Structure 1
Amino acid sequence: MTLIGRSRTRGVETLSLDAPERRNALSAALVGDLAAALTDAGKDTGVRAVVLTHTGNTFSAGADLKDPPAPTALTGLLRQIVELPKPVVARVTGHVRAGGLGLLAACDIAVASRAATFAFTEVRIGVAPAVISLPLLPRTDPRALARYYLTGERFDADEAARIGLLTVAGDDADDTLAPVLDGLRRSAPEALAETKRLLTAKVLETFDRDADALTALSARLFASAPAREGMTAFLERRDPEWVV
């Protein structure tokens, strides 16, 4: 059974993260299913653009701590979104944590309702936002990232738009999304692909330069003693031992 819902309307393929009982955590299975769906959309000449959205009240809670994807798989998924020859638009109406923020940053356009909240929670479980930095660092305000990376604080959709994580926040995500999709439908497919290449060149330079090092860092940190304590504490709903 696939963990990705699919539908299409007037050339826009909607892919929905569909594991709400696990808060759409990025499991090995979900990452694999999303990669397969993106591959199909990229090859399909009937697809003008892709909307990446979710079921339930959480876009993604980040890595699935019980069945995490390999760091190389997450790196590959993020690069696939950046390189897809069609625009990818994130539609968010719920909460986004940790690795889920990497998905947003990899998308070309990201729209969210003001009901959404965001947090880089990695440091609170003993790891770092390593792989997701590949699309985040080139696209997001560095001073804001320093604060939210280091503290794990929660922030709202308007702040996410201010720092460049989102393109725009609105009271209703679908109302905000409508003119974006109208514009994409009015654009020539070849022109969209070439324009996307212009926009993603700097991001892909970061992947080329840093992907191996950050993937290795992620693997090392997730295998560390602090990560084991942090993840155990999270699953047991208690503070990890380093909290003072």
Structure 2
Amino acid sequence: MLVRRSSADGITGLTLDSPHNRNALSARLVAELHDALTAAAADPATRAVLLTHTGGTFCSGADLTEAGTGAEGPLGLARLLRAVVELPKPVVAAVNGHVRAGGLGLLGACDIAVAGAGASFAFTEARLGLAPAVISLPLLPRLDPRAAARYYLTGERFDATEAARIGLITVAGEPEAVLGPLLDGLRRASPQGLAESKRLLTAGVLRVFDRDTQDLADRSARLFASEEAREGMTAFLERRDPAWAR
């Protein structure tokens, strides 16, 4: 299993546990996480979902060893992100590690995200000949536009304080200290109150999914299949600079 499940006091825990590839969004991990979210949605005992990770990386983005498999990969990721947004129960992410590329889309889809001092973030797609296409579905409606332009284009790393400032996460603070009050607040809310409040919060994001999913999935597939992206991904896997780097 690449996604471990637990349950306690109304909170279903989902832990990304694929350390061999830094919790990359492989087809298997995406499918397991989608199934776990579906099960949590159907479980009347689940009041909220807590998404965490093992190791020093929350999620490294797409599994580059599976790149070039057509539009199904991007569409599968879009379906996963939509499942997080549409889930009638709040999804809380707790991060104490690195988050890159597609992993940022997973954070953006969550309702609440907490990250500690050990977290770092970067949109690395442009450096690989790609673009943060599908993950823009939940991210662009929530990010500060100027900050999105800077980090989409430069691929710079930034910390949890900056992630909170630009709207990527909710709170910059150690999860162990922050989660208690947050989860207690969710437990005190009624299931109907949570579901309807979340429906209000996510309506605009879901309109973006309705409008742009197919276009962005097609764009992502086209970019992954390009010569420039192949060079960028190969250079990354070989730990060298791509041909265009100066």
Shorter-chain TM-score range? over 0.9
The aligned residue for residue 66 of structure 1 is 65
Q: 1:206 aligns with which of 174, 185, 208?
A: 208
The aligned residue for residue 190 of structure 1 is 192
TM-score (norm 2): 0.97
Query: Hey, what's the Cα distance between the residues in 2 that align with 1:124 and 1:92?
Result: 24
Q: Secondary structure at the match of 2:52?
A: strand
The aligned residue for residue 178 of structure 1 is 180
Asked whether the 8 Å contact 1:48–1:184 carries over to 2, the reply is yes
The aligned residue for residue 43 of structure 2 is 44
The aligned residue for residue 224 of structure 1 is 226
Query: Hey, what's the Cα distance between the residues in 1 that align with 2:20 and 2:215?
Result: 33
- 1:46-195 matches, cutoff 5 A: 46-68=45-67, 70-170=73-173, 172-195=174-197
* Identity over aligned pairs, percent: 67
**1:16-73 deviations in whole A, cap 9, x for unaligned?**
0000121001101000000000000011101000011100010000000012571110
Asked whether the 8 Å contact 1:12–1:49 carries over to 2, the reply is yes
Listed as ranges, the gaps of 5+ residues in structure 1 are: none
Query: Hey, what's the Cα distance between the residues in 1 that align with 2:113 and 2:62?
Result: 20
The aligned residue for residue 28 of structure 1 is 27
CA RMSD, Structure 1 to Structure 2 (Å): 0.8
Query: Hey, what's the Cα distance between the residues in 1 that align with 2:178 and 2:63?
Result: 30
Give the aligned residue type for 1:36. Answer: D
Asked whether the 8 Å contact 1:11–1:48 carries over to 2, the reply is yes
Query: Hey, what's the Cα distance between the residues in 1 that align with 2:181 and 2:107?
Result: 19
Give the aligned residue type for 1:210. Answer: D
Superposition deviation, residue 115 in structure 1: 1.1
Deviates more, 1:205-214 or 1:99-108: 205-214
Q: Secondary structure at the match of 1:139?
A: coil
Give the aligned residue type for 2:158. Answer: F
Asked whether the 8 Å contact 1:105–1:165 carries over to 2, the reply is yes
Structure 1 stretches of at least 4 aligned residues deviating more than 2 Å after TM superposition: none
Query: Hey, what's the Cα distance between the residues in 1 that align with 2:143 and 2:51?
Result: 20
Q: How many residues align?
A: 242
Asked whether the 8 Å contact 1:78–1:102 carries over to 2, the reply is yes
Q: Secondary structure at the match of 1:164?
A: coil
Query: Hey, what's the Cα distance between the residues in 2 that align with 1:12 and 1:169?
Result: 21
Asked whether the 8 Å contact 1:75–1:215 carries over to 2, the reply is yes
